[in-house]
Amino acid sequence: MTPDLQEAGAATLERHHQQAAAPSSAGGASFGRLMHASEPDFAHGVALYLDEISVSFDGFKALNSLSLAIDVGEMRCIIGPNGAGKTTMMDVITGKTRPDSGHAHFGSNIDLLRLREPQIVRAGICRKFQKPTVYEELSVFENLELALQNDRGVRAALFARLSGTQRERIAEILQLVHLLPESHRIAGLLSHGQKQWLEIGMLLAQEPVLLLLDEPVAGMTDEETERTAELFLTLVGKHSLVVVEHDMKFVDMLTQGHRKVTVLHEGSVLAEGTLAEVQSNTQVIDVYLGR
Amino acid sequence: MTPVAPVQLLPESRRGLLLGVRGWSVVIGVLAVIAVLIPVLNLAVPADNPLHFGDYGVALVAKIMCYAMCALAMDLIWGYTGILSLGHGLYFALGGYAMGMYLMRQIGHDGNYRSDLPDFMVFLDWKALPWTWAGSASFVFQMILVVAVPALVSGVFGWFAFRSRIKGVYFSIITQALTFAGMLLFFRNETGFGGNNGFTDFKRILGISIAAPSTRMVLFVLTGLTLVAFYLLARAIVNSKYGRVLQAIRDAESRVMFTGYDPLKYKLSIWVLSAVMCGIAGALYVPQVGIINPSEMSPAASIEMAIWAAVGGRGTLVGPIVGAFFVNGAKSWFTQAFPEFWLYFLGALFIAVTLFLPRGIMGIKDRLKKEKGVEVKA
């Protein structure tokens, strides 16, 4: 193949990638698109699709044929009483728990149940744990460096050096999560809320398609909670977010009265709608809000 | 929020020169002492001069430098990656045995029985060398084994253990069991490595008398250079991004996995490297100490390695080297002055370090700095 043909081919590929990456192109079969088996296909506008997932631990049904669909760029809050299956759902999506039955797809083509944890992460799903999990003895900057999107192999890591663009990207994230003045500090010395933000920053550094956030404002002050809500609202549209939260004030801030809230109960979806709708739903009041 | 972030606020990359001016001066100073000062004081200064550095001292420092390499290897896997091995004596002994086999063949016809076979084989009435000794006459082949055998054993063991996600104390116990099994295997005469007596009575290395002062000094300098080289290698490793992934695995392995790294590859590679370092240390140890036997594989020997690292200060690289010198220096003095109290002292030392110096000897330095008001790594 001649060099100019190769270049033309590369340009075509690049154009197709851009088309596929743009969330606005959702809908329609979009013929003539190039697809790679390992890359998720979001052409149908769905980022995550769970179908009839069931998990049981020693007879206890943690998830009971749970079905859920998250759109590309959507922010979805998930609420529910303790034991409703919120964390188990995240475990299934990230490959930590294998369901007894059901299907889980990322985009319309990636079967999550066939992948191991690191592969799922590399496909574009990142998860924040309930307890903030950062590398306590590395600096804030180094925590983000390890999270940056790049080759995860041993050889690459031995000789890796940060490029100017990567350093700028880290600075950008530090600013986004309000940690720029702390970049030299050892992560273990941060406050609880700051650790939560650092972990969120580490997720963002991986440029995920879908972010799973398990009680992200647990242990934060009111002011920190508000700033976290602001941060999440800037992410809507760029990423899909699934936020599991108990704090109704925070959920209210995130949904702004019109975004969908899903209520889980005993391992399946009890209700779906705006926060006002689910709060007036009698079933929901019975099991959850009314206590 | 300003759109342009002040990038200059960010820390500089820690790679590059590896050490500061002071660090390099110390390294060059140590090299000068090992390669110039001690050889001159030992060989050129007459024995009745008070400045003379005796043969006993040379042998002792050489032995401790071999131990220091093991302590450094322990720091890489325990201090930086958080995997406590209580079985690295196995790899030390395997490297030592590979060297010992070559030294046994170098004895040639000069053994007690005037036979081509090593004495212990004549004693057992063996007529030919077993297959494991096939390449033992070749120095190069045995040197390859010094690296290859520990690498292979640790690689196979590590792959199964890390793939099964065995962690913490369970992992430590299995490493301990492995070295114990190795010891029992090498105790048997049928295994073909001299049973409980091991190898000794070495005469030559590369055809040169092994007891000659110049040979001893060459081995001493070689050991010192290897130790410094290992230190610089370890320093380069922990300062690379690879080294930071290792520390991340120590602090939060699940987060590393959920960031898309495969911890198995990282743990296995550093595990094998540390085993190879111990193997090379063993190969340098045997010609200078003059004996290798299965007691090097005893669980206690491996536990001592962990003590050197803990006493010196984990996760500092320099600390474990200091710890190896401190503990073994104390041991050689104590076993002469109060032979019956050494083990009590070792136990007391370990308790004292755990209680009062969780960061070891290097922790004292940090504590002094902290009193001066400098923020140090937590």
Average pLDDT over residues B280-304: 95
Of A146, A183, A189, the CB nearest to B10: A183
**Is A21 domain-assigned?**
no
Distance, in Å, from the CA atom of A85 to the CA atom of A92, rounded to the nearest integer, reads 10
User: Highest mean pLDDT range out of B41-45, B148-152, B210-214?
Assistant: B148-152
**Token pair belonging to B314:** 């984990």
Percent of chain B with pLDDT over 90: 67
Residue B195: left (phi > 0), alpha (psi -120 to 50), or beta?
left
Q: Which residues of chain B have a CB within 8 Å of the CB of A174?
A: 5, 10
* Candidates B255, B256, B359, B366, partner chain A, best to mutate (most A CBs within 10 A): B255
Q: Are strands A261-265 and A240-244 parallel, antiparallel or unpaired?
A: unpaired
Output DSSP code: residue B160.
H
A27 pLDDT higher than 60: no
User: Highest mean pLDDT range out of A35-44, A167-176, B169-178, B256-265?
Assistant: B169-178
Asked whether B268 and B155 are in contact (CB, 8 A), the reply is: yes
Structural domain count, chain B: 1
Asked whether A273 and A251 are in contact (CB, 8 A), the reply is: no
Q: Give the pLDDT of residue A37.
A: 65
Q: Is B34 exposed, middle or buried (0-12, 13-18, 19+ CB in 10 A)?
A: buried
**Is B357 domain-assigned?**
no
Instruction: Say which residue, B38 or B365, is predicted with more confidence.
Output: B38
Neighbours of A86 (CB within 10 A): 25
**Is A279 domain-assigned?**
yes
Q: Give the pLDDT of residue A237.
A: 84
Q: Give the range among A94-108, B99-113, B358-372 with minimum mean pLDDT.
A: B358-372
A46 pLDDT higher than 80: yes
Q: Give the pLDDT of residue B188.
A: 94
Distance, in Å, from the CA atom of B134 to the CA atom of B151, rounded to the nearest integer, reads 20
Of A147, A181, A184, the CB nearest to B259: A147
Range of the domain at B267: 21-46+53-301
CA distance from start to end of chain B: 31
* Candidates B12, B18, B241, B267, partner chain A, best to mutate (most A CBs within 10 A): B241
Q: Give the pLDDT of residue B343.
A: 85
User: Mean of the per-residue pLDDT values for chain A?
Assistant: 85
B15 touches A at CB < 8 Å? yes
User: Cα separations (Å) of B323 from B176, B338, B360?
Assistant: 22, 21, 8
Q: Which residues of chain B have a CB within 8 Å of the CB of A165?
A: none
Under an 8 A CB cutoff, do B242 and A206 touch?
A: no
Average pLDDT over residues A107-136: 88
Instruction: Say which residue, A121 or A11, is predicted with more confidence.
Output: A121
**Token pair belonging to B252:** 């939060």
pLDDT bucket at A248, cuts 50 / 70 / 90: confident
List the Cα angle A179/B249/A137 in 5-degree steps. Answer: 40
B94 pLDDT higher than 50: yes
**Is B238 domain-assigned?**
yes
A125 pLDDT higher than 70: yes
Q: Which residues of chain A have a CB within 8 Å of the CB of B17?
A: none
Under an 8 A CB cutoff, do A180 and B6 touch?
A: yes
Q: Give the pLDDT of residue B3.
A: 44
Q: Give the pLDDT of residue A31.
A: 56
**Is A252 domain-assigned?**
yes
B269 touches A at CB < 8 Å? yes
A8 Cα to chain B: minimum distance (Å): 33
* Candidates B10, B163, B359, partner chain A, best to mutate (most A CBs within 10 A): B10
Instruction: Find how far residue A16's CA is from the centre of its chain.
Output: 25
Under an 8 A CB cutoff, do B258 and A94 touch?
A: yes
**Is A7 domain-assigned?**
no
Q: What's the CATH number where A130 sits?
A: 3.40.50.300
> Which tens digit of pLDDT belongs to each residue from A174-213?
998 889 998 889 999 998 888 989 999 999 998 899 999 9
DSSP B183-231: HHHHHSGGGSS-GGG-EE---EETTEETTSHHHHHHHHHHHHHHHHHHH
Q: Give the pLDDT of residue B252.
A: 92
Q: Which residues of chain B have a CB within 8 Å of the CB of A180?
A: 5-6, 9
**Is B335 domain-assigned?**
no
> Which tens digit of pLDDT belongs to each residue from A15-24?
777 766 665 4
Q: Which residues of chain B have a CB within 8 Å of the CB of A191?
A: none
Q: Give the pLDDT of residue B377.
A: 46
Distance, in Å, from the CA atom of B368 to the CA atom of B371, rounded to the nearest integer, reads 5
Structural domain count, chain A: 1
> Which tens digit of pLDDT belongs to each residue from A71-88?
988 999 998 887 788 889
Average pLDDT over residues A253-262: 88
| Cβ-based neighbours of B181, under 8 Å, separated by 6 or more | none
B52 pLDDT higher than 60: yes
User: Cα separations (Å) of B215 from A204, B67, B233?
Assistant: 60, 20, 27
Nearest to B258 by CA among A199, A21, A234: A199
A270 pLDDT higher than 50: yes
B373 pLDDT higher than 70: no
Instruction: Say which residue, B89 or A44, is predicted with more confidence.
Output: B89
**Is A24 domain-assigned?**
no
DSSP chain A: --HHHHHHHHHHHHHHHHHHH-GGG-SS--TT----TTS---TTSEEEEEEEEEEEETTEEEEEEEEEEEETT-EEEEE--TTSSHHHHHHHHTTSS--SEEEEEETTTEEGGGS-HHHHHHHTEEEE-SS----TTSBHHHHHHHHSSS--SHHHHHT----HHHHHHHHHHHHHTT-GGGTTSBGGGS-HHHHHHHHHHHHHHT--SEEEEESTTTT--HHHHHHHHHHHHHHBTTBEEEEE-S-HHHHHHHHTTTS-EEEEETTEEEEEE-HHHHHH-HHHIIIII--
Distance, in Å, from the CA atom of A220 to the CA atom of A128, rounded to the nearest integer, reads 15
Range of the domain at A72: 39-135+209-289
| Cβ-based neighbours of B163, under 8 Å, separated by 6 or more | B264
Q: Give the range among B63-72, B230-239, B355-364 with minimum mean pLDDT.
A: B355-364
**Token pair belonging to B165:** 């996600």
* Candidates A138, A178, A199, partner chain B, best to mutate (most B CBs within 10 A): A138
Of B10, B254, B262, the CB nearest to A133: B254
B374 touches A at CB < 8 Å? no
